[in-house]
């Protein structure tokens, strides 16, 4: 079954492909599904934002008879698709759970991942290790082909390091320490088992 991910983030799509395609889903980004839609994330929680995105993409696709890929060379039966949206971010105890739902805009619009990590490290420079607890949060809102909705939440506890470590991952992975390694240092096989997204996906698979 085709599964439209309400995102065009290459790192996120790659993670979903690795985890969900072995289960029989054909994972595509909304762009690859021919959907050009920007959904305003004006919810107050991760759950609200993921639901807003999933419902908007589902309604957009459902309103058409079919959707095409980016090159408009193929189409799929609109009755045979599901939609998944997530909202994820980083909560830092010492910052009263900031950046939270504003993780992608932390420090201002237009910053790249490296700049956001640097901004976070600067704000925590006087905080000792035992007070640098943090967690990644991921909520997933899944809409089945028949319109049934499922919402799940996953978390991964860790702490914020004192410098960026590792070359893999994306977002805040280089500064989020899981044990003695950052999320950008652990391999994809481990990350896919312990991450906030992996926990949310396990819950989703159980619901499905």
Banded pLDDT at 138 (limits 50, 70, 90): very high
Please state which CATH class domain 2-207 belongs to. alpha beta
Banded pLDDT at 87 (limits 50, 70, 90): very high
Q: Is the pLDDT of residue 79 over 60?
A: no
Q: Has 87 been annotated as catalytic?
A: yes
> Which pLDDT does position 64 carry in this prediction?
64
pLDDT in tens, 39-72: 888 999 999 999 999 999 999 988 864 444 444 5
Catalytic residue among 32, 72, 86, 87: 87
Lookup: tokens for 126: 């006087």
pTM of the model: 0.83
The percentage of the chain sitting over the pLDDT mark of 70, rounded to a whole number, equals: 92
Mean pLDDT score, 117-142 = 97
Contact 7, 41 (CB under 8 A): no
Contact 193, 200 (CB under 8 A): no
Lookup: tokens for 111: 């910053």
> Which pLDDT does position 77 carry in this prediction?
45
Q: Is the pLDDT of residue 120 over 50?
A: yes
Q: Is the pLDDT of residue 177 over 70?
A: yes
- The residue among 92 and 21 whose pLDDT is bigger is 92
Lookup: tokens for 166: 């590792």
Banded pLDDT at 74 (limits 50, 70, 90): very low
189-197 contacts at long range (C-beta below 8 A, 24 or more positions apart): 192/15, 192/18, 192/19, 194/156, 195/15, 195/136, 195/138, 195/154, 195/156, 196/88, 196/135, 196/136, 196/137, 196/138, 196/154, 196/155, 196/156, 197/15, 197/19, 197/86, 197/88, 197/138, 197/140, 197/154
| Rounded-to-10 torsion of CA 51, 57, 59, 62 | -140
């Amino acid at each position: 079954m085709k599964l439209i991910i309400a995102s065009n983030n290459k790192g996120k799509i790659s993670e979903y492909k690795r985890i969900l395609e072995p289960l029989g889903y054909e994972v595509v980004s909304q762009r690859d599904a021919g959907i050009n839609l920007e959904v305003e994330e004006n919810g107050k929680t991760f759950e609200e934002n993921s639901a807003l995105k999933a419902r908007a993409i589902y309604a957009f696709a459902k309103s058409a008879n079919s959707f095409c890929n980016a090159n408009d060379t193929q189409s799929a039966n609109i009755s045979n698709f599901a939609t998944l949206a997530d909202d994820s971010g980083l909560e830092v105890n010492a910052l009263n759970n900031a950046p939270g739902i504003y993780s992608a805009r932390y420090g201002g619009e237009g910053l790249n991942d490296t700049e956001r990590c640097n901004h976070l490290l600067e704000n925590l420079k006087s905080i000792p290790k035992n007070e640098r607890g943090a967690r990644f949060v991921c909520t997933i809102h899944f809409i089945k082909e028949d319109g049934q909705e499922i919402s799940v939440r996953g978390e991964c506890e860790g702490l914020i390091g004192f410098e960026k470590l590792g070359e893999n991952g994306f977002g805040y992975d280089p500064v989020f320490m899981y044990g003695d390694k950052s999320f950008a240092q652990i391999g994809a096989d481990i990350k896919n088992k312990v991450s906030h997204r992996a926990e949310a996906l396990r819950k989703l698979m159980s619901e499905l």
